[in-house]
Every structure is written in structure tokens, then in C-alpha cells.
Amino acid sequence: MPLTPDFWLERWQKGDIGFHQAEGNDLLPRNWPSLNLAPGSAVFVPLCGKSHDMVWLAGNGHRVIGAELSPLAVDDFFREQGLEADTRSTGPFVVRTAGPFTIWCGDVFEMPADALSDVAAVYDRAALVALPPSLQQRYAKKLAEAVPASASILLVSLAYPDGQISGPPFSTPSEQVSALFGATHEIRVTDSRDRLEQSQNLKDRGVTSLEETAYVLKRKA
């Protein structure tokens, strides 16, 4: 089932945001150092929601460029961080900036490549898995086209037994990560763990096992 933008806009309106982690995701601090990035470099966070991981990235010296459909999520992010954002419009986007954060509010597939031309890395947690398989292909292609070839990707993905629930999240096991990125990227698993006990919502929906895996993807020469 393709998910329309309205699906996500309504979830934010209803406060149905069980995916949001108030403390952020600890696979980020555990795995980020292996990317070896220069201080001050820019990180792209697609489908960023109001993720606290953006605060961690900024606290570790990065400029953060987010992309998010929901204006409510973007408002919440700046308000919760106590930041007053400058706002400008460009094409179909409203772009909000404060301190190290720039969030492009609109459809990630419309992001202009020049907005991402100095990105040193991509951080994806709950972005790829938020998309149905048909859009996952478009997303992988978009990343390959829009970020510099030198940019690594830290991907945090989820996998559960086939067909147990209809996504999101969409189960995205290593075979699917390979199918999406294997032609363009070297893929390394850097962390993997069972997360069922921490995911009551998915458990309640009928998921019986849940694996969360961190991958570092580097573009092939």
C-alpha cells in the first residue's frame, strides 16, 4: 500500500508518533565514531521527524540538514530545543534554520541536490523502514543522486518475520538492504540486537521477533 503524505501528516496531528524516541537512539553514539568525520561537517537526516538524534549530532559538532513532511514535527523540534527558527520558502519547501539545524519541510524526494552538496554523511533511523518497498527503491536512488559519493550512510534498520504486520515500519532485513544499496555501496553490519522487549507497540500489533541492525554504507569506487 503506498503511503500518502496525508498518512504522516495525520499521524503528527493525532500525536500518533510511537516511533519517536525522546532520548534518541543509542546505536548512533555507538556507531557514529566509525565514520571518522571531520568536525563541523554536514549530516543529512532524511525523514527526520523531531528526532533527538539531530541534537546529538549537533552536540558532536555537526551541522544538521533534516527533511521532514510535517510542519508540526518541525515546529515541535525547534520549540522543544528552545530555538527560534528563521523561515524561508524555496520551491515546494519551507526551510527553517536555527543554530546548527536546517530542516527542509516538504517531500524528501523533491530535495534539490544543491541543498545536500556538502553533506559528509547521512543518518537514517526509521526513514528507510518508514517507506514501502516501492518507495525504498526511489529513496536509495535519491540518496545516491543527491549526496556526494564521498558521503557514508549510517543506516539503522528493523527486521521482523514476513507479513506479521503491514508497515510502517516495513521489515527491511539485510537481503533488502543489499538489494537496495549493494550495487552502489559496500555494506558493513556494525551492530545488531533484539529489540522486541523495547517495542511494546509492535509487540501489541503481533510482531514476535524484532531485530535492529546498524549498517555503515560506503560508496563503491
Ligand X SMILES: C[S@@+](CC[C@H](N)C(=O)[O-])C[C@H]1O[C@@H](n2cnc3c(N)ncnc32)[C@H](O)[C@@H]1O
Specify the residue, 108 or 159, whose C-beta has the smaller distance to ligand X: 108
212 part of the interface to ligand X, by CB under 6 A: no
Neighbouring-strand partners of residue 121: 43, 152
69 part of the interface to ligand X, by CB under 6 A: yes
Q: 112 to 171, contacts with ligand X by CB under 6 A?
A: 125-127, 130, 168
* Least distance between ligand X and beta carbon 16 (Å): 11
Number of residues that bind ligand X (CB under 6 A): 20
Q: Please report which helix (H) or strand (E) contains residue 200, including its range.
A: helix 200-205
Which residues, at least 6 apart from 45, have a Cβ–Cβ distance to it below 8 Å?
A: 51, 53, 54, 57, 64, 65, 66, 67, 122, 123, 124, 127
108 part of the interface to ligand X, by CB under 6 A: yes
* Least distance between ligand X and beta carbon 144 (Å): 17
Name the one range near ligand X by CB under 6 A: 28-36, 69-77, 92-100, 173-181. 69-77
* Least distance between ligand X and beta carbon 221 (Å): 30
Are 69 and 105 in contact by the 8 Å Cβ rule? The answer is yes
Torsional sign, CA 2, 6, 7, 9? positive
Specify the residue, 76 or 118, whose C-beta has the smaller distance to ligand X: 76
Considering only 107, 175, 186, 194, the residue that binds ligand X (CB under 6 A) is: 107
Residue 124 Rama label (left phi>0; alpha psi -120 to 50; beta): beta
